[in-house]
Amino acid sequence: MSKRDYYEVLDVSREASADEIKKAYRKKAMQYHPDRNADDPAAEQKFKEAAEAFEVLKDDQKRARYDRYGHAGMNGGAGGFGGGGFSSQDINIEDIFDRFGDIFGGGDIFGGRGGQSRGRGRRSSGVPGSDMKMKLSLTLEEIAFGTEKKLRIKKYVKCDSCNGTGAETDEDYMTCSTCSGTGELRQVSRTMFGSFVNVQPCHTCNGEGRTIRNKCKSCRGEGRVKGEETISVQIPGGVKTNNYITLSGRGNAGIRGGENGSLIVIFEEQEHEYFVREGDHIFYDLQISIADAILGTDVEVPTLKGKARLKVEPGTQSGKLLKMKEKGIQRLNSTARGDQFVKVNVYIPTKVSDAEKKIIQKLKEAPNFDPLTQKENSNGFFSRIKDMFS
């Protein structure tokens, strides 16, 4: 059966960029998707053909080889084509989704472990990378409005020399002879109760199904090396200490093409110089003079976004809470916002001059300064004190 040219299959030029190839494949995949072409063998064949072309053209090494040798370069026996013998004649649709799941799903970083496919009977290639955890300290301002952070992470990254395969060249990849590439060893034991099949990962290839003849020198066959990655993280407003997000695929690189682990970022709220947080609200202690409390004033107070003016009405009592609407913290996953509460504290001086003492002495004698004579308090606390003493 003669094969069509891969570039022709995807309808792209030979100079097409990786992005153009991905887009072209996506278009074809959608067009010939089995869900849209039920019981249409021709469409199914086209769908598989596109997947096969993409499998080669998306990979720089395979593409280069295809460019040089054509289809002949792709059928080089056991090691020829990623060891999997991936050709449109014998693949099934599930396999295509397993390999290219990410192209159909959005890949949203907040989507938890989405886009990953595990096992399902097919042996996975490589060993998955481990998850990583890190703490991220955030200011109250960052929490209040949400923020973007760039994180520099030391971790295992894919080895560039071997493109993560761990092999010096593609030809150094061999199907494991112990398990014939299945990655597992089956042992049947017969007992009087019947036969039992014991399945264990192959010890020669550690369940990978493949072994490497000449290991890549840069990574000593691991397919990954110690490195660093800078990751941008979008942090929504309203998070709390110990809230976390899981960035799937951003943890340690897997061994020899194994799935990457996840990066789990745990938030930690920094203590603020002025504000105390309670849920979505913040509290601020304001000091004003006795005179301002009596006469009223207009003060400048800090907020989570610069300074703001706040009116203190004449006759404001010490301890009163003034509300600055929606100057608090964004509610998580909502556009609503908490308030800023300003607690008024009337400042009592601890040192006074003789001249000041004289003024205070005068105020002491003024009738409006004696709480016990105040009518508005007649039913409250002060009247009860008055009763006690009269």
User: Is the CB of 48 or the CB of 123 nearer to Zn ion?
Assistant: 123
In angstroms, rounded to a whole number, what is the distance separating the alpha carbons of residues 251 and 248? Answer: 7
Residue-wise DSSP of 263-279: EEEEEEEPPPSS-EEET
Instruction: Summarize as ranges the residues that interact with Zn ion (CB under 5 A).
Output: 159, 161-162, 176, 178-179, 202, 204-205, 216, 218-219
Q: Shortest approach of Zn ion to residue 204 CB, angstroms?
A: 5
In angstroms, rounded to a whole number, what is the distance separating the alpha carbons of residues 300 and 290? Answer: 17
In angstroms, rounded to a whole number, what is the distance separating the alpha carbons of residues 18 and 324? Answer: 53
Q: Shortest approach of Zn ion to residue 22 CB, angstroms?
A: 24
In angstroms, rounded to a whole number, what is the distance separating the alpha carbons of residues 390 and 381? Answer: 15
User: Is the CB of 161 or the CB of 297 nearer to Zn ion?
Assistant: 161
Q: Are 185 and 198 in contact (CB under 8 A)?
A: no
**Could you tell me whether strands 263-269 and 132-138 are parallel, antiparallel, or unpaired per DSSP bridges?**
parallel
Q: Shortest approach of Zn ion to residue 200 CB, angstroms?
A: 11
User: Is the CB of 204 or the CB of 383 nearer to Zn ion?
Assistant: 204
**Could you tell me whether strands 224-235 and 147-158 are parallel, antiparallel, or unpaired per DSSP bridges?**
antiparallel
Q: Shortest approach of Zn ion to residue 258 CB, angstroms?
A: 14
User: Is the CB of 204 or the CB of 246 nearer to Zn ion?
Assistant: 204
Structure token pair of residue 389: 């003493």
In angstroms, rounded to a whole number, what is the distance separating the alpha carbons of residues 125 and 84? Answer: 10
User: What angle is formed at CA 186 by the lines to CA 180 and CA 190, rounded to 5 degrees?
Assistant: 145
Q: Shortest approach of Zn ion to residue 87 CB, angstroms?
A: 22
Q: Shortest approach of Zn ion to residue 65 CB, angstroms?
A: 18
Which long-range CB contacts under 8 A does 15-22 form with residues at least 24 apart? 16/57, 18/58, 18/60, 21/54, 21/57, 21/58, 22/54, 22/58, 22/103
SS3 per-residue string spanning 186-234: EEEEEECCEEEEEEEECCCCCCCCEEECCECCCCCCCCEEEEEEEEEEE
User: Is the CB of 109 or the CB of 157 nearer to Zn ion?
Assistant: 157
Q: Shortest approach of Zn ion to residue 73 CB, angstroms?
A: 22
User: Is the CB of 160 or the CB of 285 nearer to Zn ion?
Assistant: 160
User: Is the CB of 176 or the CB of 322 nearer to Zn ion?
Assistant: 176
User: Is the CB of 142 or the CB of 222 nearer to Zn ion?
Assistant: 222
Q: Shortest approach of Zn ion to residue 84 CB, angstroms?
A: 14
